[in-house]
Chain A
Amino acid sequence: MAKYILKRFALMVVTVLIIATLTFFLMNLLPGSPLNEERSTNEAVQQNLEAHFNLDEPLIVQYVLYLKSIATFDFGPSIKQPTETVNSLLSRGFPISAELGIWTILTAVISGIALGVFAALKHNGLIDYIAMTVAVLGISVPNFVLATLLIQELAVNLDIFPAATWSSPAHMVLPILALATGPMAIIARLTRSSMLETLTQDYIKTARAKGLSPVKVIIKHALRNALMPVVTILGTLMAGILTGTFVIEKIFAIPGMGKYFVESINQRDYPVIMGTTVFYSVFLVFMLFLVDIAYGLLDPRIKLHDEGGG
């Protein structure tokens, strides 16, 4: 196992490097450059600016400089916001995005699994139909529509929760609801479907025949196997939500890091693009690594370090 983990870590470094490399060259293929819009600057100022951000160097030199910045995790100053460094943007935005993200994931996972399990247990019963209607509505309504409706009803009309900004736990309720509904619905449907499949397996009958209580059979025997598809999507879901979502942050005026992913690309702010991409990809590969480890823990039949099945 230790050997497997060590190998995976080496591969994670390679993966992040490839993502950074591809992003760097794709980014330079984009039409426009970060300094294009300052039309008022004269030739000399323009050249000085380019020299300051190393944009006058050949592409390959710029690339090596970026590799250096990845190794030290110091991406230098932002081109568009000269008073900020990429690191200061990230270290300010991430704690907020992470707080929002963790609560969202917890809400979505707990309620999604509960809905899915109850629906599967009462297959084609009333609870099943109610749970799946909730799930279908959750998927059918995009989160920005839901966010608008939540603000209109719960914040403006009923005045229960504050409408926007980020300062107290009460401020977190509406964005969490808006963000968690979609993933909750997806988790509920996946749980229900694989629960239904698992419940027909012989080992569930065996467990019941041994006289185990239904609750114990469901939680220890069925759910453990039924959670595989849920665990699969959790990796990418976590990476996506913890690093912020642009639309929800914008609607609720939350100073998270989601906006840097979109703005940096629209503004061709090269250091910020590279910084956010490297940050996100490190996060992503680590989450996917955890998912693979979780596979092995949930299902002992899965051997991660085997040498092929065919």
Chain B
Amino acid sequence: MLPAAREKETHHHEVPDEWFKPKEKDEQQAELVVRPSLSYWQDAWRRLKKNKLAMSGFFFLVFLGIMAIFGPVLSPHSVSEQVLSNQNQSPSMTHWFGTDDLGRDVFTRTWYGARISLFVGLMAAFIDFFIGITYGGISGYKGGRTDNVMMRIIEILYGLPYLLVVILLLVVLGPSLLTIIIALTVTGWVGMARIVRGQVLQIKHNEFVLASQSFGAKTKRIIRKNLLPNTMGPIIVQMTLTVPTAIFAEAFLSFLGLGIQSPFASWGVMANDALGTILSGHWWRLFFPAFFISATMFAFNVLGDGLQDALDPKLRR
């Protein structure tokens, strides 16, 4: 408040009464909503934009996405180019990130790897997210017998030997990007479902849920509008954890011959291939994929933290 205004307020008895007159009553005006009506996601985006750290994470991920598309074009070397006389060269003007043991350009492979790793990581995270919140939400909210049966199904999925399932998938579907994503999500959503169910169990007896129920809201609406927005924090964290897990799990799958095959690369495969070379001093082969995995992780994490604050209905103002 301006000092002048405050002065006027404190000495209001000196203000002549005729200055004041009752405001005209207007039924329509009273109903008018002053703040523009924003949907849940519009409001979240408005709040996210104010968080500088989260936005820098967001722009870094956009940058990675652009580089994944155009990065290989920038490089004079193609992804399948192998020059055996150029083995294990350190970074230079011709090979910006150096070369690997087959004389392949690490810069080109890093951005090809970005395509695979980001795609696999994001797809796995989104599929886990949608199956997980639906399954966990229903299981936790319905409770009782439904919950019991749904949780036992999860235990069965978790109890099956993962390697057995993966090898069978390989036999049935053959190696492809789709098979990788299916192999990653076939049990991957279970963690998300359990987290959501735990949270829903905790908040479903709160008053706001009871209020919604007494208004006659359907189960679907209560889960979507009341329960899930209030569990967004752990959900977002779990999602940001899924992305790197998927990137590394893809590397594990390629050991089994189910992952990405040469000449294409992924960050996980590049990091794995380079593990043995740390001792021989070819640091750039591990450094670049590992750096971009960690930087991506970091960006997802700060963005996730920002989203968590932005999506929390309790912090809305």
Contact = CB atoms under 8 A, between A and B. Distances in A.
Interface of A: 11, 14-16, 18-19, 22-23, 26-27, 29-31, 132, 136-137, 139-142, 144-145, 148-149, 152, 186, 189-190, 193-194, 196-197, 200, 225, 228-229, 231-233, 235-236, 239, 261-262, 265-266, 273, 276-277, 280-281, 284-285, 288, 295, 299, 301-302, 306-310
B233 A228 contact: no
B152 A15 contact: yes
A228 B199 contact: yes
A114 to B, nearest CB: 18
B279 A152 contact: yes
A132 B240 CA distance: 13
Contact of A26 (B155, B164, B219): B164
B43 interface: no
Nearest to A124: B53
A127 B65 CA distance: 31
Nearest to A236: B158
Interface residues of B, number: 60
A31 B170 CA distance: 11
Contacts of A15: 152, 155-156, 159
Nearest to A229: B234
B244 A148 contact: no
A14 B152 contact: yes
A266 B166 CA distance: 12
A142 B167 CA distance: 23
B213 interface: yes
B250 to A, nearest CB: 12
A273 B163 CA distance: 11
Most buried by A among B168, B209, B234: B234
Given A233-B195, A308-B142, 14 more contacts: A15-B159, A132-B305, A141-B290, A144-B275, A149-B278, A193-B305, A197-B314, A225-B202, A229-B199, A236-B194, A280-B161, A307-B145, A309-B143, A309-B205
B201 A302 contact: yes
Contacts of A261: 161, 163
A228 B202 contact: yes
17 contacts: A15-B155, A18-B156, A19-B159, A30-B168, A30-B171, A132-B305, A137-B294, A139-B241, A190-B238, A193-B305, A194-B234, A232-B194, A232-B195, A277-B160, A302-B201, A309-B142, A310-B222
B167 A30 contact: yes
A88 B47 CA distance: 60
Q: List the 8 shortest-distance A-B pairs measured between CB atoms, nearest first.
A: A281-B159, A140-B294, A19-B159, A308-B144, A232-B198, A140-B297, A229-B234, A193-B233
Nearest to B234: A229
A207 B232 CA distance: 25
B184 interface: no
B141 interface: yes
A136 B141 contact: no
Contacts of B190: 236
Given A11-B152, A307-B144, A265 B163 contact: yes
